[in-house]
Amino acid sequence: MSKREKRRNERQAAVLKAATDLINKSGFDAVTMQSIAAAIGASVGGLYRYFPNKESIFSALQMDAIAVFDGLIAERHSKISEPSSRFELLSRLVQDFESWSAFRRTQPVQFALLETFINTPQRTLDEAGREAVNPSISVVLSRITASLEDCVQAGALKPGPSGTRTYMLWAAMHGVEQLSKRDDDTETHCQSSVVRQMLIRDLLISWGAMKGLVDHVLNTGSTSD
């Protein structure tokens, strides 16, 4: 790598870090090309040498965070190498469901950033940004879909629309983590860890998994990190 390329990479990393800090501290409205430039001690004109607009910064941040999350799912999959039994396949699917919670615990900065992007009511990316980010999200979702389809093929789940089931799991994962913010103020039976386990149990049973097998998967600690 040439000195020029190294310098460019360092400046791009500085821009992304500054944008991350601004988002985590003050939200999306605080992020402008001017505020980022001020944070890194650069001119706005100089910033455009690395990113053409704010949306391109947002898309780069999302892709970085999604890549970290996908790496976490892949790592958790590797702990159950070549699953073949119904128990192992359901365990891997439960690991997928638990991955968003594990992401929050192990990568809090990246989690906070990605959660902000997901939960903000307004769109944060233009069409070009969405086209850049969507393939990264599709990779993550495809892992969950593959786990579901493997369970169906092995008879651990009854056949059903794997795409719809994937999005049901995706929505449930994010919803439970929203509840975790209230764990200190709720009774034990309403805390996110309890709700998370009940949700995945009920979903798997509704999709045809045997109750005894699901309980065995959940009670063996296969969902722990």
Indicate the domain borders of the chain: 1-51, 61-219
Please give the CATH topology (third level) of the domain spanning 61-219: Tetracycline Repressor; domain 2 (1.10.357)
Helices (H) and strands (E) in the chain, counts: 10, 0
| Residue that is written with structure tokens 């706005």 in the block | 44
d(CA 97, CA 159): 19
Q: Are 115 and 103 in contact (CB under 8 A)?
A: no
d(CA 28, CA 58): 10
Percent of the chain with pLDDT over 90: 48
Across the range 96-118, mean pLDDT stands at: 85
d(CA 164, CA 151): 15
Q: Are 58 and 150 in contact (CB under 8 A)?
A: no
Q: What is the pLDDT of residue 221?
A: 62
Residue type, 157: L
User: Which of 63, 56, 54, 9 is CA-nearest to residue 36?
Assistant: 54
Q: Give me the helix-helix angle, 127-153 and 86-106, nearest 10°.
A: 150
| pLDDT single digits (tens) 1-28 | 788 888 888 999 999 999 989 888 887 7
Q: What is the pLDDT of residue 2?
A: 85
pTM summary value: 0.82
Across the range 31-52, mean pLDDT stands at: 91
Tokens of 198: 């009940």
Query: Selecting from 1.10.10.60, 1.20.1560.10, 1.25.40.10, 1.20.120.1200, what CATH number does the domain 1-51 have?
Result: 1.10.10.60
Across the range 70-90, mean pLDDT stands at: 86
d(CA 13, CA 6): 11
Q: What is the pLDDT of residue 58?
A: 87
More confident residue, 78 or 116: 78
| Residue that is written with structure tokens 């103020």 in the block | 185
